[in-house]
Structure 1
C-alpha cells in the first residue's frame, strides 16, 4: 500500500509540473523532466549554463522509477520511503512553494473550489514508518475526500482558468477548511492501532532501567567531582535514548492548494468514495 501511494504521488507530482509521462505501469514510471525540475533534481548546473551560453535548447533527463519490489531488478531507480531521491522530490516541492491554484481544463461553465492538502504522517518508534494522505475538502458543502489526488490524476489542469468558465465563491473559508482537515487527520491517527507505540515505550523503559542500574552503581562509588561528570553523561545518554525510542507521531504538510472542478467531475470524485 505504501509503495502504491508513492507511485500515485509521483504520477501526480510530475503531471502537475507538466512533465511528459512516457510510461505508467504498475510499479514503474518513466518520465521526461522539464528544465525547471531537471535543474532541481539532476544537479548539473554547468550543463544548463553551457547550453544557455551557446544558445541551444537543453535536453532534460528521462528517469524511470521502480516502486514495486517485483520490479526492483529492472533498469531504473528503486524508490521508497527513506530513499534519497524521494526526499529530494519532497524538498523540491518545498522550494517551488507549498501552495498552488489549479483549474480543470473543461468546457463546463462553473468550477467549484476544493481545498487540497497532501500530508505526510511519520510514526517514529523502534522503527520509522511514513504515510502519505491526500485530502480534498469541497468548500461549498464540506464533502471530504480521501486519496483526492489519485481520484483526479487522469484530469487535465492549468494555472489559468479556461475560457468561458467562472469560479463559484467558497462558502467555507480556507482557514476553516484547514481546521476541518486537521481534525480529520487527528481522528484518522486516533483510529489507528498503536501497538508499535506501546512496544517502543516498553522497550524504552527496559533500556532506561539498564542505564539507571549501570550509572547507579558508579555514582554510589564516586566522589562529588566524578558524580557531577557521571550525572551529565547519564543525562546525555538518557536524552539520546528518548530521541531514539520514545514513540512520536509527526504530521507535515507536503503541499496543497485550491483545485477548481466542474460539477460533473465533482460528482465522479464523490462517487469514488462509495
Structure 2
C-alpha cells in the first residue's frame, strides 16, 4: 500500500466509526476518536471500565496522523510518537504507513469488527415507486479460507453465498457484492422476504458444498509431500539407528532415543499433507429481488 491508499483506508475507518475530523490536509489529519474507535485503538481498558461503571461521558483521545513516508530512523515497524499541547487538550502525533504498528492495529480492529455484519443494498434512486415496496432476499455470505499444507503451503479464498429464501448457492457471491452499494441501514420502501432456511442450516449447506468441492481437487501435491515425508523419516532412522545400536543401555542412550523421536515428530508435522478450512468472515446481505 502506498501513502494515498493508507490514508484512504484510515479515513474510511474513521468515517465508519463516527470519528470527528478536526483538520485535514493532503498528507495529514487531526481527528478526535469516537467512543467506539477509542475503545479499539487506545488500549485504555481501565478508563473504559470506569466510564461504564460510573456512567459518565467519556473523553476520547485526539490524534494527529501523518501519511508521509517515514524517516529511516523509525525502522520498519516502529513509529515515533510526540505530543502537542493545545488549548483544547493534548494531541498525540504519529506517522501511519504500511508496516507501522498503528496501521496493523487498524487492520486488526476492522477484521474483528467486520467478522459478522448485516448489510442492505441501497436501491437506485429514481427507480422506486414511492407508494410501493420492493422485496429483498436475505443471503448468507461467507468467505472461506482453504489451506493446503505440507512443507509448503497454498491458500485459496472462496467467497460463497446462499439464499436463505430458496437455498440457491452462488459460488461467485463475493464478486456479486463488489459493484453493489451497501449500507447497514434498511432502505425505505423495502420489505424483507421470509427466510426458508435458518442460519445454521444455510451454513451447513455451504460447508457440505465446500466439502464436495474439496474432494474433487487435485491431490498430487499431497502424494508428493508424502513421498518426501517418508524419505526424510528414512534419513532420520539411518542417522540415529547405528548410534543407538552401538550404545549400551544408559541415560545417554535414552536421551538419544528421545532426540530421535522428537526429530521424527518434527518431520512428520512438517511434511504430512493436510487440508484445513476456516471462516474468515461472514454476513447477512439483503439484496433486491426474489432469489
> TM-score scaled by structure 2?
0.64
The correspondence for 1:211, drawn from 221, 236, 246, is 236
Change (3 A) 1:261 1:62: farther
The correspondence for 2:184, drawn from 159, 166, 177, is 159
Is contact 1:117–1:253 with CA below 8 Å preserved after alignment? Answer: yes
Match of 1:95 in 2: 112
Equivalences, count: 219
Change (3 A) 1:87 1:234: farther
Equivalent residue of 1:200, what SS? helix
CA distance in 1, matches of 2:257, 2:120: 61
Give a deviation string over 1:4-60, Cα, whole Å, max 9, x none. Answer: xxxxxx9xxxxxxxxxxx88xxxxx984422259999xx9869x9343984799999
Instruction: After the TM superposition, list the runs of 4 or more consecutive aligned residues in structure 1 that deviate by more than 3 angstroms.
Output: 29-32, 36-40, 43-46, 48-63, 84-94
CA distance in 1, matches of 2:138, 2:289: 10
The aligned runs of 1:1-274 (5 Å cut-off) are 31-33=8-10, 34-35=13-14, 49-51=61-63, 54=88, 91-106=108-123, 107=128, 109-224=134-249, 225-263=251-289
Change (3 A) 1:232 1:258: same
Superposition deviation, residue 222 in structure 1:
1.5
Equivalent residue of 1:169, what SS? coil
Higher Cα Rg, which structure:
2
Change (3 A) 1:191 1:259: same
Give a deviation string over 1:123-143, Cα, whole Å, max 9, x none. Answer: 112311111000000111111
CA distance in 2, matches of 1:59, 1:155: 36
Higher relative contact order (CA 8 A, sep 6+): 1
Structure with bigger helix share is 1
Change (3 A) 1:208 1:254: same
Superposition deviation, residue 236 in structure 1:
1.2
Structure 2: give runs of 5+ residues left out of the alignment: 20-30, 44-59, 65-85
> TM-score scaled by structure 1?
0.67
CA distance in 2, matches of 1:86, 1:165: 38
Equivalent residue of 2:139, what SS? strand
Q: RMSD value over aligned CA atoms?
A: 3.8
Structure 1: give runs of 5+ residues left out of the alignment: 1-9, 11-21, 24-28, 64-76, 79-83, 267-274
CA distance in 2, matches of 1:145, 1:216: 55
Superposition deviation, residue 253 in structure 1:
0.3
Match of 1:4 in 2: none
Is contact 2:41–2:106 with CA below 8 Å preserved after alignment? Answer: no
Is contact 1:102–1:158 with CA below 8 Å preserved after alignment? Answer: yes
Equivalent residue of 1:170, what SS? coil
CA distance in 1, matches of 2:95, 2:199: 37
Equivalent residue of 1:152, what SS? helix
